[in-house]
Amino acid sequence: MPTVPTHALVATTMFSWLAREHRTSALWAAGMLCAMLPDLDVVGFALGVRYGDLLGHRGLSHSLVFSAIVATGVLSAIGPLPRRVAVWWFLFLCTASHGALDAATDGGLGVAFLSPFSNERYFWPWRPIRVAPIGLTRIFTERGMAVFQTEMVWIWLPCALVMLTRRVRLARRSLGQTFKGR
């Protein structure tokens, strides 16, 4: 799995592309929480849930069904918003991005995208991201630092480029409207 800050960064990147009327700090926080939420399944280890079980790590909580349920629940909690479908998709994609990133790592058993209908685990054909160690103390080890290095190249840099692209597009649009008004 990528690190928790990396999952939050992906949600932040998607947030930057939302329409202006949706870009609130509450929705930004909700998106980041949705992106990090699937890893709460690690508490199952302490409860005796095995990694490959339905409720195990990268199981049901990393599935597309879970992403849809979370998006629906969070949207209901947020209350009335314009263009609720766009906000639902944002929340869904933030949650689903977690499994998508985990499937690009070089460790674990894969991601049960189709759970609860199938517990089959999947990886992407190309897996450039080092799998992060589970646990806060382990992330600050040599292995944890190697994970951060691969995340910087394969996730943080592309996210920065996507957000920069968005800023440039907004600036060009704003500049174009300024000249139209003259």
Does residue 182 surpass a pLDDT of 60? Answer: no
Mean pLDDT of all residues in 144-173: 91
Contacts of the segment 71-75: beta carbons below 8 A, 24+ positions apart: 71/34, 71/95, 74/30, 74/33, 74/34
Q: Which residue has the tokens 């932040």?
A: 12
Mean pLDDT of the chain: 90
Sign of the CA dihedral with 36 first, then 38, 40, and 45 last: negative
Hey, how many other C-beta atoms are within 10 angstroms of the C-beta on 144? 18
Higher pLDDT, 132 or 58: 58
Q: Whole-prediction pTM value?
A: 0.89
**pLDDT on residue 140:** 73
Q: DSSP per residue over 163-177, as a string?
A: HHHHHHHHHHHHHHH
Tell me if 120 sits within 8 A of 60, measured CB to CB: no
**pLDDT on residue 16:** 93
Mean pLDDT of all residues in 72-93: 88
3-state class (DSSP) for residue 80 = coil
> Alpha-carbon dihedral of residues 25, 31, 33, 39, nearest 10 degrees?
-160
Tell me if 101 sits within 8 A of 129, measured CB to CB: yes
